[in-house]
C-alpha cells in the first residue's frame, strides 16, 4: 500500500507522479526562497483561524512554535527540502504536520493558489523596499561624485558630437533625475503589490467566516492610514500577476537608465575621451593584452539589460491568453521575478560602488571643454542681444565657423576685422563670449547647466537624499 504524504492532496490519487513528472512540475528548487513569507503568512492565517474558532489556543500555540522551529532550521540551513513535495508550501506544511498534529488544520479555507499569491506579494514588498534604498544610494553616489568636482566642465554631446559646455555635475544629475522617477514608480507599484489576497481560497473564497481584515493587518497589508488592503475579487486575486509585471517593467526602465549611464562611463573611460579613471578594483585586465583595463562592471550593467527586458517579456507572454483563474503556468512567474530583482539590485549596488571609486581627469576635461566651438551658440545669442533675428544670427555664426575653418584658426582667435567681414554687427566685445567661466555663469534658467543653477541643484539633491 502506498504511504500517503502527511499533506495529501486527496485520497483520490492511487499513485504518485513518476520521477520525470515530479522533476518537471517541482518548484521547490527555486520557490524555497519564499520560506519566510510562507511561514509568516501561515502564522497570521492560524492566528485568524483561532480567533474564528477553527483552532484552539493550544493548537495555535503548537502550530506557531512548530513553524518558528522550521523557520529557524531553514535559516540555519538544516531543513531538508523534499522535491517530491513539489513546492515550498507543501514542504513546510508537511513537516509541520509531521511534528504537530494540529498542522492538519492549518490549510483550512486556504489554497496554495491564494497562498502563493500572498507569498510573492510579501516577498516583492521587501524587494521594493530594499531596491528603493539602493537606488537612493546610487543617486547619492552620483551627487557626491558631482559635488567632489563642482568646477569641472565637459562638452555636452548631441549625436555624440560636441554641442555645448556643461558642468560634469550637471551631466551626472541627469541620471539622478531618471532614478528619482524610477523611485517614484517603485513607490507607486508598491501600492498595488501591498494588497492581501488571502481568503480567496482556490478560486471562490470560503464558506467559513474568515476575518480577512485581521490577516491583512497582521501581515502589514495596510495603507498609510492603517486601513487593511484586501483584494476584491477572489478569481482575480488567485490569477493576478499584474503586480509582478509592473515591478518587472519598472525594473526594465531602471535597466535602461543604468545601461545609458554605463555607456557614458565606458566612453569616458576610453583613451579617446579619458575623462575619468575607474579604480583598479572595479576594472579587469585582458588575458592577452597587458596594457588593458576594461570597464567590465559598466559593460555587464549594459549587458544585463537584456535579461531584465527578457524577464518582462516572459511574464507578459505567460499571462497572455490564460483562462481564468489559477493555472499551473503561473509557477513560471517566480524565476523571472527573482532574477529581475536579483539582477537589478546587484547592478544598482555595483554601479554605485564603482562611481564611488572613480575619479575625474581634470586636465582632459578642461582641454575638451576649452573647445571654443562649444560656444558658437553663445555667439549667436550675442547677435540676438544686438537685436538680430535668431535665424539670421545662426546663419552669420555659421559663416564665422566656416571662415575659421578656412583660415585654420580656432573660433576665438579670429580678429575683429575677420568677424566684421562676416557681419558688421560684431563688436569689439564679441570675443568675450568665449570666456568659458563667464559663459557658464550666464546659463541660470531652471534646469540649465549654469554655475549657480548646478550648485542649487546639487544642494537640493544633497538635502533630498539626506
- How far is Cα 57 from Cα 47, in angstroms, rounded to an integer? 9
Q: How far is the CB of 109 from ligand ARG (least distance, A)?
A: 15
Residue among 268 and 326 whose Cβ is closer to ligand ARG: 326
Q: Which CB atom, from 119 or from 264, has the smaller least distance to ligand ARG?
A: 119
Minimum CB–partner distance for residue 29 and ligand ARG (Å) = 11
Q: What distance in Å separates the CA atoms of residue 216 and residue 229, rounded to the nearest whole number? A: 7
Min. distance of Cβ 264 from ligand ARG in angstroms? 40
Tell me how far, at minimum, the Cβ of 340 lies from ligand ARG, in Å.
16
Of the residues 27, 37, 136, 358, which one makes contact with ligand ARG according to CB under 6 A: 27
Residues in the chain: 466
111 is catalytic: no
CA triplet 16, 21, 25: central angle to 5 degrees?
105
Q: Angle CA(95)–CA(98)–CA(103) in degrees, nearest 5?
A: 85
Build a one-symbol-per-residue string for 115-144: x at contacts with ligand ARG by CB under 6 A, - elsewhere: -x----------------------------
Nearest Cα residue to 214 out of 383, 50, 29, 417: 50
Mark out the alpha helices in 9-87 (DSSP H runs).
19-25, 28-31, 35-51, 57-75
Sole window of 129-137, 322-330, 349-357, 400-408 interacting with ligand ARG (rule: CB under 6 A): 322-330
Candidates 106, 330, 351, 352; binder of ligand ARG (CB under 6 A) is 330
Whether 132 sits among the annotated catalytic residues: the reply is no
Site string for ligand ARG, 100-119 (x = CB under 6 A): ------------xx--x---
User: Quick count: other Cβ atoms within 10 Å of Cβ 58?
Assistant: 10
Task: Please list every residue from 80 through 99 that binds ligand ARG, using CB under 6 A.
Answer: 87
Q: Which residues pair with 278 in a beta bridge?
A: 358
- Grid coordinates standing for 114? 491564494
Q: 206 vs 442, which CB is nearer to ligand ARG?
A: 206
**234 closest CA partner among 274, 196, 203:** 203
Q: Which long-range contacts (CB under 8 A, 24 or more apart) does 298-301 make?
A: 298/261, 298/262, 298/263, 298/265, 298/266, 298/269, 298/351, 298/354, 299/262, 299/266, 300/347, 301/258, 301/259, 301/261, 301/262, 301/347, 301/350, 301/351
311/331 with CB nearer ligand ARG: 331
| 42 binds ligand ARG, rule: CB under 6 A | no
Cell of 337: 521575478
C-beta separation of 228 from 285 below 8 A? no
Closest approach of ligand ARG to the CB of residue 189, in Å: 21
Tell me which stretch binds ligand ARG (CB under 6 A): 255-263, 323-331, 337-345, 440-448. Answer: 323-331
User: How many residues bind to ligand ARG according to rule CB under 6 A?
Assistant: 10
Closer to ligand ARG by CB, 326 or 382: give it.
Answer: 326
Minimum Å gap between C-beta 336 and ligand ARG is 12
State in angstroms the smallest separation of the CB of 186 from ligand ARG.
24
Query: Strand 153-158 and strand 161-167: pairing?
Result: antiparallel
Q: Identify the active-site residue in 14, 159, 271, 287.
A: 159
With 0-12 / 13-18 / 19 or more C-beta atoms within 10 angstroms meaning exposed / middle / buried, residue 440 is buried
Q: What's the CA dihedral at 417, 419, 423, 429 to 10 degrees?
A: -90
Marked catalytic residue, from 286, 359, 415, 441 = 286
**Binding residues for ligand ARG, per CB under 6 A?**
27, 31, 87, 112-113, 116, 326, 328, 330-331
Catalytic residues: 159, 286
Amino acid at each position: 500500500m502506498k504511504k500517503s504524504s502527511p499533506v495529501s492532496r486527496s485520497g483520490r490519487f492511487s499513485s504518485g507522479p513518476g520521477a520525470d513528472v515530479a522533476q518537471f512540475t517541482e518548484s521547490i528548487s527555486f520557490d524555497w526562497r519564499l520560506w519566510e513569507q510562507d511561514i509568516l503568512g501561515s502564522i497570521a492565517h492560524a492566528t485568524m483561524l483561532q480567533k474564528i474558532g477553527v483552532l484552539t489556543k493550544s493548537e495555535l500555540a503548537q502550530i506557531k512554535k512548530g513553524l518558528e522551529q522550521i523557520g529557524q532550521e531553514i535559516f540555519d540551513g538544516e531543513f531538508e527540502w523534499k522535491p517530491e513535495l513539489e513546492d515550498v508550501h507543501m514542504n513546510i506544511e508537511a513537516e509541520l504536520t509531521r511534528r504537530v498534529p494540529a498542522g492538519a488544520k492549518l490549510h483550512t479555507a486556504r489554497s496554495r493558489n491564494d497562498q502563493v499569491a500572498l507569498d510573492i506579494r510579501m516577498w516583492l514588498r521587501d524587494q521594493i523596499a530594499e531596491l528603493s534604498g539602493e537606488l537612493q544610494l546610487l543617486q547619492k553616489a552620483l551627487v557626491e561624485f558631482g559635488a567632489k568636482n563642482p568646477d569641472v566642465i565637459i562638452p555636452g554631446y548631441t549625436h555624440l558630437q560636441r554641442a555645448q559646455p556643461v558642468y560634469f555635475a550637471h551631466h551626472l544629475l541627469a541620471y539622478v533625475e531618471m532614478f528619482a522617477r524610477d523611485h517614484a514608480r517603485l513607490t507607486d507599484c508598491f501600492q498595488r503589490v501591498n494588497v492581501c489576497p488571502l481568503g480567496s481560497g482556490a478560486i471562490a473564497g470560503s464558506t467559513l467566516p474568515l476575518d480577512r481584515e485581521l490577516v491583512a493587518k497582521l501581515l502589514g497589508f495596510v495603507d498609510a492610514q492603517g486601513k487593511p488592503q484586501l483584494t476584491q475579487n477572489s478569481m482575480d486575486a488567485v490569477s493576478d500577476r499584474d503586480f509582478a509585471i509592473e515591478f518587472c517593467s519598472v525594473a526594465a526602465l531602471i535597466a535602461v537608465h543604468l545601461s545609458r549611464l554605463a555607456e557614458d562611463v565606458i566612453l569616458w573611460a576610453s583613451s579617446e575621451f579619458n575623462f575619468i579613471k575607474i579604480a583598479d578594483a572595479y576594472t579587469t585586465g585582458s588575458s592577452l593584452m597587458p596594457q588593458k583595463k576594461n570597464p567590465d562592471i559598466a559593460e555587464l550593467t549594459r549587458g544585463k539589460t537584456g535579461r531584465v527586458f527578457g524577464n518582462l517579456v516572459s511574464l507578459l507572454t505567460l499571462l497572455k491568453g490564460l483562462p481564468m483563474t489559477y493555472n499551473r503556468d503561473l509557477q513560471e512567474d517566480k524565476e523571472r521575478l527573482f532574477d529581475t530583482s536579483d539582477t537589478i539590485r546587484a547592478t544598482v549596488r555595483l554601479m554605485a560602488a564603482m562611481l564611488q571609486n572613480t575619479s575625474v581627469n581634470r586636465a582632459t576635461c578642461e582641454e575638451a571643454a576649452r573647445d571654443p566651438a562649444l560656444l558658437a551658440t553663445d555667439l549667436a545669442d550675442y547677435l540676438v542681444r544686438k537685436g538680430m533675428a535668431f535665424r539670421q544670427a545662426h546663419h552669420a555664426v555659421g559663416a564665422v565657423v566656416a571662415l575659421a575653418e578656412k583660415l585654420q584658426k580656432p573660433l576665438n582667435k579670429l580678429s575683429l576685422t575677420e568677424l566684421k567681414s562676416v557681419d558688421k554687427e560684431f563688436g569689439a566685445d564679441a570675443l568675450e563670449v568665449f570666456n568659458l567661466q563667464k559663459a557658464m555663469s550666464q546659463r541660470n534658467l531652471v534646469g540649465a547647466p549654469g554655475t549657480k543653477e548646478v550648485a542649487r541643484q546639487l544642494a537640493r539633491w544633497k538635502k533630498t537624499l539626506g
